[in-house]
């Protein structure tokens, strides 16, 4: 699985390779330039290329690219935007080499005259907002409409947070070195980066970081026992829905079954009985009404919990007194059964901090940013700026596995491993989408996955189901029902790929 690194981590890795391993900086740089050169030849029109360079090592990469293009016979101009007084040692060498080989250097240029622009202004060394001449330059590059290849990271994007530092280059393609930078995996940086290629330049050693959930997650899909029965594939209890809120119970429970759980029981308000029985006859039903005595409610809940292997609580549940009682009792009666807590269960958990310490590693919390801000007592702005700090804070209060949902969903396992999900699309910002994720997570747990794997895998699977829905219906119009249909198709495809791999012994899932 790919590791995502911040700018600081990347600089440490660069230095370790140069100083500890003894690989000269210029060797790494030449490999970086060759990777960019290859990408330019494959994907861009090289009739007339402009390479825009800053004075740090990102600019030095750019100079090397300009030299390689020139020596290969392409028409290339080099535009030095950085100040020579701030040249790095590598930059001084690259600048001299470019001059020795008589690469064309321009001081003034009309960007729209070029067929391709290479952005080598700033890389992971960007340390502050762009202003003045750099801001004007970046805005002019963007306004030119010329396709841009960004070297390592689009200039102006913060390598750790993905934020736009004043302004930033909008690239068609980004060739990034050694490891994918976190900033081009998060929004809005990911949009500015365009298509990202990660190229090996000889820098290794990232052992700690954030794992990007990508197609390698396929191998986590729980195997099916061909001789299995309903019991083998697990029983999920969904405590969901309230008066006038049957949809959340439907989406979450259906997603659990579609994900492969053997049986689903919904515990819900009496008023949802008829609609759920008609809409989703595959689910079993237990009901309560709000006037029920506490002992009777406890009795109904205990029976349902005894039956289940996994409990999910929260979608459409409301934050009524009955809902609060249910959550408290679930945490008391659970023994060691895994629990997924979503939506209103999270709102109740934010209010009842005393319940948080009853959670453990087998509990999975699935807050969206609003719910997370209530749980971790911070603003959504703080969450976006410092997501990992907020997740650490919450973990100290509530030692669970966490799925923090957003356009890029974060997962923190109880043993402190971080994942960032790269699947999904804006069409998933639609009512009921989170309920589907809750059901998928419970369905995977029911099939025997551990929380530390079920949480990242569920987020990834939910994203590919959403991507399928967007392909079928368009991101604008897709609904949670389309995500459920996408889930079905994607699981079928994953099972086929795995079966084919087992048949042929191949391990290339691309085929």
Annotated binding-site residue numbers for AMP: 405-409, 434
Q: Does 189 bind ligand NPW (CB under 6 A)?
A: no
DSSP-assigned letter for residue 224 = P
**Closest CB to ligand ADP among 259 and 409?**
409
Beta bridge partners of 341: 313, 365
Can you tell me the distance from the alpha carbon of 273 to that of 190, in angstroms, rounded to the nearest whole number? 45
Q: Does 409 bind ligand ADP (CB under 6 A)?
A: yes
Can you tell me the distance from the alpha carbon of 317 to that of 298, in angstroms, rounded to the nearest whole number? 16
CA 298 to chain centre: 39
Instruction: Show the tokens assigned to 332.
Output: 């008391």
Report, in Å, the least distance between residue 431 CB and ligand ADP. Answer: 4
Q: Which does 424 bind (CB under 5 to 8 A by kind): K ion, ligand ADP, ligand NPW, none?
A: ligand ADP
Residue 414: which of 377, 461, 449, 364 has the closest Cα? Answer: 364
Report, in Å, the least distance between residue 205 CB and ligand ADP. Answer: 31
Can you tell me the distance from the alpha carbon of 70 to that of 57, in angstroms, rounded to the nearest whole number? 20
Tell which positions 142-171 bind K ion, by CB under 5 A.
150-151, 155
Let me know how many helices (H) and strands (E) the chain has, helices first.
18, 19
Q: Which does 364 bind (CB under 5 to 8 A by kind): K ion, ligand NPW, ligand ADP, none?
A: none
Q: Which does 407 bind (CB under 5 to 8 A by kind): ligand NPW, K ion, ligand ADP, none?
A: ligand ADP
Element (H, E) at 467: helix 451-473
Q: Does 201 bind ligand NPW (CB under 6 A)?
A: yes
CA 18 to chain centre: 31
Tell which positions 326-385 bind ligand ADP, by CB under 6 A.
368
DSSP-assigned letter for residue 172 = S
Q: Which does 55 bind (CB under 5 to 8 A by kind): ligand NPW, K ion, ligand ADP, none?
A: ligand NPW
Q: Annotated binding residues, as ranges?
A: 57-61, 119, 123-129, 134, 152, 155, 248, 316, 368, 405-409, 434-435
Distances (CA, A) of 409 to 82, 321, 378, 406, 459: 37, 31, 18, 5, 7
Judged by DSSP in three states, 474 sits in coil
Burial class (CB in 10 A: 0-12, 13-18, 19+), 124: buried
**Closest CB to K ion among 119 and 309?**
119
Q: How many CB atoms are closer than 10 A to CB 244?
A: 11
CA angle, residues 378, 379, 381, in degrees to nearest 5: 130
Can you tell me the distance from the alpha carbon of 12 to that of 91, in angstroms, rounded to the nearest whole number? 19
By beta-carbon distance, which residue lies closest to ligand ADP? 434
Q: Which does 433 bind (CB under 5 to 8 A by kind): ligand NPW, ligand ADP, K ion, none?
A: ligand ADP
Report, in Å, the least distance between residue 99 CB and ligand NPW. Answer: 19
Tell which positions 449-488 bind ligand ADP, by CB under 6 A.
462
Report, in Å, the least distance between residue 28 CB and ligand NPW. Answer: 4
| Binding track over 22-41 against ligand NPW, x by CB under 6 A | ---x--xx--x---------
Instruction: Show the tokens assigned to 2.
Output: 């790919």
Can you tell me the distance from the alpha carbon of 304 to that of 330, in angstroms, rounded to the nearest whole number? 10
Tell which positions 138-177 bind ligand NPW, by CB under 6 A.
151-152, 177
Which residue of 209, 387, 434, 486 would you call a contact of ligand ADP, by CB under 6 A? Answer: 434
By beta-carbon distance, which residue lies closest to K ion? 155
**Closest CB to ligand NPW among 200 and 502?**
200
Instruction: Show the tokens assigned to 345.
Output: 């269960």
Contact range with K ion by CB under 5 A, out of 38-46, 86-94, 111-119, 463-471: 111-119
Which residue of 80, 103, 124, 363 would you call a contact of ligand NPW, by CB under 6 A? Answer: 124
Q: Annotated binding residues for (6S)-NADPHX, as ranges?
A: 57-61, 123-129, 134, 152, 248, 316, 368, 435
* Helix axes 433-446 and 247-258, enclosed angle (nearest 10): 40
Can you tell me the distance from the alpha carbon of 282 to that of 287, in angstroms, rounded to the nearest whole number? 16
Residue ranges that bind ligand NPW, judged by CB under 6 A: 14, 18, 25, 28-29, 32, 54-59, 61, 86, 88, 122-130, 134, 151-152, 177, 201
Residue ranges that bind ligand ADP, judged by CB under 6 A: 368, 405-407, 409, 424-426, 428-429, 431-435, 437, 462
């Amino acid at each position: 699985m790919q590791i995502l690194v911040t700018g600081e981590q990347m600089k440490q890795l660069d230095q370790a390779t140069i100083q500890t391993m003894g690989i000269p900086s210029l060797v790494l740089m030449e490999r970086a330039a060759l990777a960019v050169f290859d990408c330019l030849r494959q994907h861009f029109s090289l009739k007339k290329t402009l390479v825009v360079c800053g004075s740090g090592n990102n600019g030095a990469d750019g100079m090397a690219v300009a030299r390689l293009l020139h020596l290969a016979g392409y028409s290339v101009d080099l535009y030095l935007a950085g100040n020579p007084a701030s040249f790095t040692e590598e930059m001084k060498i690259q600048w001299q080499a470019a001059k020795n080989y008589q690469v064309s250097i321009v001081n003034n240029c009309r960007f729209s005259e070029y067929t391709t622009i290479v952005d080598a202004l700033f890389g992971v060394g960007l340390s502050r907002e762009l202003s003045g001449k750099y801001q004007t330059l970046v805005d002019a590059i963007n306004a030119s409409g010329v396709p841009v290849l960004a070297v390592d990271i689009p200039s102006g994007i913060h390598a750790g947070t993905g934020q736009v530092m004043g302004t930033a280059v909008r690239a068609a393609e980004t060739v990034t070195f050694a490891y994918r930078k976190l900033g081009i995996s998060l929004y809005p940086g990911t949009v500015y980066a365009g298509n990202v290629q990660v190229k090996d330049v000889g820098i290794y050693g990232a052992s700690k970081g954030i794992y990007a959930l990508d197609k390698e997650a396929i191998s986590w899909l729980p195997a099916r026992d061909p001789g299995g029965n309903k019991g083998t594939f697990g029983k999920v209890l969904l405590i969901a829905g309230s008066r006038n809120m049957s949809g959340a119970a439907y989406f979450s429970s259906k997603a659990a079954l579609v994900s492969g759980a053997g049986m689903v029981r919904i515990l819900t308000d009496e008023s949802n009985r008829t609609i759920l029985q008609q809409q989703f006859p595959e689910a079993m039903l237990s009901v309560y009404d709000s006037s029920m005595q506490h002992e009777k409610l406890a009795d109904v809940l205990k029976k349902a919990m005894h039956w289940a292997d996994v409990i999910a609580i929260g979608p459409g549940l409301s934050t009524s007194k009955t809902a609060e009682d249910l959550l408290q009792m679930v945490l008391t009666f659970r023994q060691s059964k895994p629990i997924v807590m979503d939506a209103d269960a999270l709102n109740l958990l934010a209010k009842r901090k005393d319940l948080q310490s009853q959670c453990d590693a087998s509990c999975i919390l699935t807050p969206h940013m609003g719910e997370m801000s209530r749980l971790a007592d911070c603003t959504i702005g703080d969450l976006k700026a410092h997501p990992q700090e907020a997740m650490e804070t919450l973990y100290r209060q509530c030692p669970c596995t966490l799925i923090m949902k957003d356009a890029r969903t974060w997962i923190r396992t109880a043993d402190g491993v971080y994942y960032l999900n790269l699947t999904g699309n804006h069409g998933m910002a639609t009512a009921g989408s989170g309920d589907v994720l809750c059901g998928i997570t419970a369905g995977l747990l029911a099939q025997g996955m551990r929380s530390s794997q079920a949480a990242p895998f569920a987020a990834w699977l939910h994203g590919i189901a959403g991507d399928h829905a967007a392909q079928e219906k368009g991101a604008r119009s897709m609904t949670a029902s389309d995500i459920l249909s996408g889930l079905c198709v994607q699981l079928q495809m994953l099972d086929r790929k795995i079966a084919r791999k087992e048949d042929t012994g191949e391990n290339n899932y691309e085929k």
